[in-house]
Amino acid sequence: MNLGFWKKLKKPFFVLAPMADVTDVAFRQIVAKYGKPDVFWTEFVSCDGLCSKGREVLLRDLNYGENERPIVAQIFGAHSENFYKTAQLVKELGFDGVDINMGCPDRSIEKQGAGASLMKNPELAQEIIKETKKGAGDLPVSVKTRIGYNKNEIETWLPVLLKAEPSVITIHGRTRKEMSKVPNDWNVIKRAVEIRNEMKSQTLIIGNGDINNLTEAEEAVKQSGVDGVMIGRGIFGNPWFFNKEINTSDISTADKLRVLIEHTKVFEEKLGGIKPRSEFLQTQKSTTGKNFAIMKKHYKAYVTGFDGAKELRIKLMEAQNATEVENLVNDYLG
């Protein structure tokens, strides 16, 4: 089995989850500066899109900096031939690994037969892993999934994936039906580790769900025996999350707001007008930026828990660019 960079990581490792319109290159740059995880993931990107004329626009989501390594590109789709082609592209772009999304519950994704719907099509899931590995060459191929579709199916679903021998499987401890309406089930994730061990598989298991700080992450490792933990929503408004030298509760409001300004400026620089990261991208340059409103979903997380937070947040939601945001924050700070 090709574990690639994964075999060099000290266990347990702590990684940042792929989240659409959240973990873009701008946010990853801020996290890399203030509290770098052991591994970064990109937002997920459509294989079908990357194999079409729409590639130019989607390449912005595969932009990254050298300070983000190791970084894994996450892709989704339902056509194994496009996974093969996309894995080749991911390798050409210099990523450290490629990850297949088999857990997204978004209806528009599922209508394509992708994301969580692949849990209902085990043969296709295995074929996709096989073709992705073929296209990825020496890059490790991983899978992110859930414990089942309508009910806990870890006893049948996990062996299907393990037989295809991905390097890593990240398991979110809820079914697709449960979404985020119930607590994450770390006992089922523990059972996943046991199944892996019973099958004498070398695939690494990452647990994911409801982790709010590194102490909780370490407890989850002790409880379940996973090799690593993936953090998603817990990092909102807290780019210091992975920094073991900082107690995030000690970070001042002023420091948080200064990082908010910095984050906004990086967003405008990196995604307001796309700048390519390689000669390959320069030949396929996209001029399509992201809507500034995407940045605003971070403001609610940064601007909370202090006097005047609500009023400042309302003003920030009306801002149109980084300059306006900076002026509003500086006015607040006096």
Domain match, 114 and 60 both: yes
Neighbours of 185 (CB within 10 A): 20
Taking only the tens of pLDDT, the chain with its 334 residues reads 999 999 999 999 999 999 999 999 999 999 999 999 999 999 999 999 999 988 888 999 999 999 999 999 999 999 999 999 999 999 999 999 999 999 999 999 999 999 999 999 999 999 999 999 999 999 999 999 999 999 999 999 999 999 999 999 999 999 999 988 899 999 999 999 999 999 999 999 999 999 999 999 999 999 999 999 999 999 999 999 999 999 888 999 999 999 999 999 999 999 985 444 444 444 444 445 788 999 999 999 999 999 999 999 999 999 999 999 999 999 999 8
Q: Which of 235, 265, 284 is the last residue of a domain?
A: 235
- The residue range of the domain holding 324 is 252-333
Q: Domains in the chain: how many in total?
A: 2
Does residue 132 sit within a domain? yes
Domain match, 54 and 176 both: yes
Domain match, 231 and 264 both: no
Please report the DSSP string for 242-297 in residue order.
T-TT--GGG--HHHHHHHHHHHHHHHIIIIITT--SSHHHHTT-------THHHHT
Domain match, 207 and 139 both: yes
Q: Which of 201, 235, 269 is the last residue of a domain?
A: 235
Domain match, 103 and 191 both: yes
Q: Are 43 and 19 in contact (CB under 8 A)?
A: yes
Domain match, 41 and 153 both: yes
What is the per-residue pLDDT for 288?
A: 59
CATH of the domain at 210: 3.20.20.70
Domain match, 21 and 71 both: yes
Does the pTM exceed 0.85?
A: yes
What per-residue string of b and e applies to 195-234 under the rule 16 or more CB within 10 Å gives b?
bbeeeebebbbbbbbbbeebeebeebbeebbbbbbbbbeb
Does residue 204 sit within a domain? yes
Dist. CA 231–CA 131, nearest whole Å: 28
Domain match, 190 and 323 both: no
Q: Order of strands, edge to edge, in the sheet holding 13-16?
A: 13-16, 228-231, 204-208, 168-172, 141-146, 97-102, 71-76, 40-46
Q: Which of 173, 205, 235 is the last residue of a domain?
A: 235
Domain match, 8 and 117 both: yes
Task: Determine whether 104 is an active site residue.
Answer: yes
What is the per-residue pLDDT for 249?
A: 84
Does residue 196 sit within a domain? yes
Task: Indicate which residue of 47, 104, 114, 188 is catalytic.
Answer: 104
Does residue 247 sit within a domain? no
Does residue 10 sit within a domain? yes
Domain match, 127 and 28 both: yes
Domain match, 16 and 159 both: yes
Does residue 242 sit within a domain? no
Domain match, 168 and 299 both: no
Q: Cα-atom radius of gyration of the chain, to the nearest Å?
A: 20
Does residue 246 sit within a domain? no
